[in-house]
Amino acid sequence: MQSVATLTRINQITILIGISFIFYELTNWEQGIWILISTVVVAGPFSTFLSYEKGKDRFLGTMVGLVVASLIEYYLRFNPSQLPVVAVLLAFIAGFMATRPYKYFIIMITVCTCMGYTYMNIPYTSFSPMSFLVDRGMGVFAGVLIFFLMQRFVFGNGNSRLELAEESLGALNKLQKILAEYQQHPNTVTAYQCAADIFEGTKDLKSYVDSAGLVFSKDLNKETRFARQVLVLNKRALKLLIDQPVVERSQIDRLLHVVTLKISRQ
């Protein structure tokens, strides 16, 4: 069953895409489709926190990609015979960037899109390469701006706080189950497996807390404090399990007791 925060987020994304589409239709801008594409991509993670981070990365990555594409196009204008070499290099770099974080990946996507569009159109039209770069930059900026304005002034932070609270409580419940599992099989193999599960289970919560400054500005609310406390407990459990051969079992028991008490108070 989907949580309240997820259902609310689905409705918010639907409104965001609708607003972007109306803006695209009303402006009648030929390259305005980049506004709609940017809004859909940024809202895609279905998490306010991940969307804020992706919006920032998309804008910065696109700007860097446009600068790189401009330099390459300027170079090829005077060295057109080097196009095959540049194309092969871009293909190799794009393959490598596909495994990197989104902010690096979008740089290469922007470069490849601009270069591809330029050299597909030049033989047939009086197309100006720089106009496409400017249009893409403006479209991405407008799409990300629509997302930030709608999120900040229309949707507010209520659902973001609920989402963070749900993620924190979920991570705490997972920690309780993992520590209980270790209690049943207190050996080195189980300890390392539980440590790996804790590390994997807190990745999303860590990214939420890292993005909390973007979502809540400088406000330190109870949900953010609770999330940080959960991360501290997970970090403590991780250290105890990794040091399991020299750690007394009573320390694990005390930590499990603290986690159980914290869950009962929520």
CATH number at residue 260: 1.20.58
Query: In terms of C-beta density within 10 A (0-12 exposed, 13-18 middle, 19 or more buried), how is residue 227 classed?
Result: buried
Q: When comparing pLDDT for 156 and 173, which is higher?
A: 173
Domain boundary among 128, 155, 182: 155
Do 151 and 165 belong together in one domain? no
Residue 218 phi/psi, 5-degree rounding, is: -100, 5
Judge if 145 and 61 occupy the same domain: yes
Q: Is 120 found in the same domain as 19? A: yes
Confidence band for 248, pLDDT divided at 50, 70 and 90: low
On whether both 118 and 163 belong to a single domain, the answer is no
Predicted confidence band of residue 247 (pLDDT cuts 50, 70, 90): low
Using the predicted structure, report yes or no on whether residue 250 has a pLDDT greater than 80: no
225 lies in the same domain as 208: yes
The pLDDT value given to residue 126: 47
Q: What is the mean pLDDT of residues 221-229?
A: 88
- Answer for the pair 37, 20: CB distance below 8 angstroms, yes or no: no
Judgement on whether residues 163 and 203 belong to the same structural domain of the protein: yes
Backbone angles phi, psi at 98, to 5 degrees: -65, -20
Q: Helix (H, G, I), strand (E, B), or coil: what is residue 79?
A: coil
Q: Which of 119, 135, 155 is the last residue of a domain?
A: 155
The predicted model gives 29-55 an average pLDDT of: 83
Give the pLDDT of residue 219: 63
Domain co-membership, 176 together with 259: yes
Considering the domain architecture, whether residues 91 and 204 belong to the same structural domain is answered as no
Predicted confidence band at 244 (pLDDT cuts at 50, 70, 90)?
low
Q: Over pLDDT 70: what percentage of the chain?
A: 90
Give yes or no: residues 151 and 204 share one domain. Answer: no
pTM across the whole model: 0.77
Domain boundary among 129, 155, 181: 155
Tell me, what's the pLDDT at 172?
Answer: 92
**Total domain count, the chain:** 2
Q: Is 90 exceeded by the pLDDT of residue 230?
A: yes
**Domain of residue 35, residue span:** 4-155
In this structure, are 179 and 94 located in the same domain?
A: no
User: Percentage of the chain surpassing pLDDT 90?
Assistant: 10
Residues 129 and 28 in one domain: yes
Rounded to the nearest integer, the mean pLDDT of the chain is 83
Of 241, 254, 238, residue with least CA distance to 186 = 241
Does residue 178 sit in the same domain as residue 58?
no
More confident position, 160 or 122: 160
| 87-133: pLDDT as tens digits | 888 888 888 887 888 888 888 888 888 887 766 655 444 446 667 77
